[in-house]
Amino acid sequence: MFNEPHPDEVRIISKRFGLPNSASIDTYLAHEGYVALMKAIEMSPEQIIDELKLSNLRGRGGAGFPTGLKWSFIPRDNPKPKYVVVNADESEPGTCKDRLLIQNDPHQLIEGCIIAARTIGCKKGYIYIRGEYRYLIDIMDKALAEAYAHGYLGKNIKGSGLDFDLYTHTGAGAYECGEESALLESLEGKRGVPRIRPPFPAVSGLYASPTVLNNVETFCTVPAVLRMGGQAYADIGTPKNGGTRMLCVSGHVNRPGVYEVPLGFPMQKMIYETCGGILNGKKLKGVIPGGSSSPVLKADECDFPMDYDNYARMKTMAGSGGMMVMDEDTDIVKVALRTMRFYAHESCGWCIPCREGTSWLRKILTRMDEGTGRRADIDLIHELAKNMLGRTFCPLGDAAAMPTIGFIEKFREEFEARLRETTMLATTPDQLISIN
């Protein structure tokens, strides 16, 4: 299912992909598996956090928060139990990397979790896997059983005195649960509605206890950082952007796939070399660079080194690493509508601007797509999205607003063209008036 390794790739966390029985503990142990853990057991929590800070590893879920810093926020003198929670609720459109990481190398994730547990002094952890990924839960459960059997989980791990239990937990279909506080609510058996923050999970997370919560890819990277050393890992990327990340390329390219490349890898090279260029020799229209929440880039903007800072400079974001490439024939109005349909479907409904805004925008965009849009609708879409931006309870509202604003600002002519098309369809002056 994964693409063949490409020479442009730097395979650190995907290096075991493709090995026979890559998900088994035997394969894992034969390929540096649990080496980092044994190292971590010898290290103090401060040393582990220092290495992570040195590595410039930033959260791979979407927000890009420095991992070492996040772990350092755990108040270790807090008498409450502490928890490690893995966000494997991968559901940002365009993203399919965590799936590969669990399917091909579940022990890498387990090792990352144990190291986190070692760092914060935690005895229980949960891997929250989206409900649709049932087969991955089965793979993960099998790997967990192997880890228990080999003494990497449970009581007194490898004679270290460390106790740690790790379990899978299935979601049940809700994009919102990818937001960390909503995920915790869901893990507690409630509706996946985000929490008021602060307090952040590091202080009050699962069961109101200090919790380290990271994306699958982030946890998977931790063993590599400890194995190679924080500095060495940092050196792979660009300044402040340590290491590699898994980019999920989809859409109109000849070789879509999930590629592990260093941060700062040029987007142009990714599209035209690594992925073999645009399908059927077509021209590029634009790229949605970091999952559906990230504002679209036009073809002429798709030439920059892909690290967190440069995405920001391009007024978009690295997000979850889901790069959706669109060729010249792509119907942007349709894409904008499909994006808004997604957010309207996934809005938890908690706050007014997101609940009502996504639904309203979906209705207008549907009209526009069906050919009954009005000229004033274009500005209305833009303004309504702006009215949501920065005013919602959680980032989902922004995630819906930002790409919409992007589509309108960058491809306004496509929305206008849609009006012209419908105008031509009108057969009587009355219709003309009612349409525009």
Partner 1 sequence: MSTPVTAPPTIINFTVDGRQLSAPPGTLLIDACKRSGIEIPAFCYYEGYSLQAACRMCLVEVEKMPKLQTACTLPVMEGMIVRSETEQIAKARKGTLEFLLTNHPLDCPVCDKGGECELQDMVFRYGAGESRFTEMKNHAPERQWSPVVFYDPARCILCYRCVRACNEGMGVGALGVTNRGVLSEIAPNKEDHLDCDECGACIDICPVGALTSNIYRYKTRPWEMQHVATVCTHCSNGCKTTLGVRNDEIIRGNNRDRGGINGEFLCVKGRYGFDFTASEERLTTPMIRIDGKLEAVSWSKALGFVAEKFKSVQADGGKFGVIADTRLTNEELFYLQKFTRAGLKTSNLDHAASGDLITLLDALSGQTDALATTDDLYKTKAALVIGSDLSQQHPLLAFQLRAGVRHNKTRIYTVTPGPVREAKYSATSVTVPLGEEYDALAKLTDRLKAEKELVILFGDSIKGQRVRDLVAWAATLGIPVKYVCLVDDSNSRGALDMGCLPNLLPGFQVDPHPGLSQAGMLAAEDLDVLWIVGANPLRHAPLASRKAFVVAHTMFLDETAARADVLFPSASAYEKSGTLTNVTGQVQRLKAAIKTMGAKADLEIIGLIAKEMGLAPTLGPWTHDIVFKEIHSGVHGYNVPLPVLLTGGAALTSPVNGPVKVNVLVDEIRSAGDTLFTSGSLGRHSKLLTSVPEFPGALYQR
Partner 2 sequence: MSLTFTPETEKILQDIWSRYPEGRKRSAVIPMLMYAQDQLGVVTSELVAEVAKRCEVSPLQVEEVVGYYSMLNKKRMGKHHVQVCTNIACLLMGGEALWHHATKRLGIGHKEVTADGLISLEEVECAGACSWAPCVVDGYEYHHHVTIEKLDQLIDSIQKVH
Per CB under 8 A, does 178 bind partner 2?
no
Measured CA to CA, the distance from residue 435 to residue 296 in angstroms comes to: 28
Query: Nearest to residue 365, comparing CAs of 330, 399, 404, 391?
Result: 404
Query: Considering only residues 25, 249, 297, 354, which one is a binding residue for partner 2 as defined by CB under 8 A?
Result: 249
Per CB under 8 A, does 338 bind partner 2?
yes
With respect to partner 1, which residue has the nearer C-beta, 123 or 355? 355
> Choosing among partner 1, partner 2, none, which partner's interface includes residue 358 (Cβ < 5 to 8 Å by kind)?
partner 1
Q: How many residues bind partner 2 (CB under 8 A)?
A: 58
Q: Are 77 and 210 in contact, with CB atoms under 8 Å apart?
A: no
* Three-state secondary structure string covering 254-314: CCCEEEEEECCEEHHHHHHHHCCCEHHHCCEEEEECCCCCCCCEEHHHCCCEECHHHHHHC
Measured CA to CA, the distance from residue 319 to residue 340 in angstroms comes to: 18
In the complex, what is the shortest distance from the CB of residue 390 to partner 1, in angstroms, rounded to a whole number? 5
Residues from 141 through 170 that contact partner 2 (CB under 8 A): 167, 169-170
Beta-bridge partners for 251? 325
CA atoms within 13 A on the CB side of 126: 18
At residue 108's C-alpha, the angle toward residues 41 and 66, to 5°, is 75
Strands 83-88 vs 124-129: parallel, antiparallel or unpaired: parallel
Per CB under 8 A, does 65 bind partner 2?
no
Query: Considering only residues 23, 100, 333, 351, which one is a binding residue for partner 1 as defined by CB under 8 A?
Result: 351
Query: Nearest to residue 174, comparing CAs of 371, 324, 394?
Result: 394
With respect to partner 1, which residue has the nearer C-beta, 348 or 399? 348
With respect to partner 2, which residue has the nearer C-beta, 93 or 243? 93
In the complex, what is the shortest distance from the CB of residue 362 to partner 1, in angstroms, rounded to a whole number? 9
Q: Which stretch binds partner 2 (CB under 8 A): 133-141, 215-223, 226-234, 356-364?
A: 133-141
Token pair in block for residue 99 = 């799936």
At residue 176's C-alpha, the angle toward residues 379 and 1, to 5°, is 100
Per CB under 8 A, does 194 bind partner 2?
no
Query: Considering only residues 131, 151, 154, 349, which one is a binding residue for partner 1 as defined by CB under 8 A?
Result: 349
Site residues (CB under 8 A) for partner 1? 174, 191, 196, 344-353, 355-360, 363-364, 367, 376, 380, 384, 387, 390-393
Site residues (CB under 8 A) for partner 2? 1, 3, 81, 90-96, 98-99, 124, 126, 130-135, 167, 169-175, 186-192, 207, 248-252, 256-258, 288, 292, 322, 324, 326, 330, 334-335, 338-339, 342, 345-346, 348
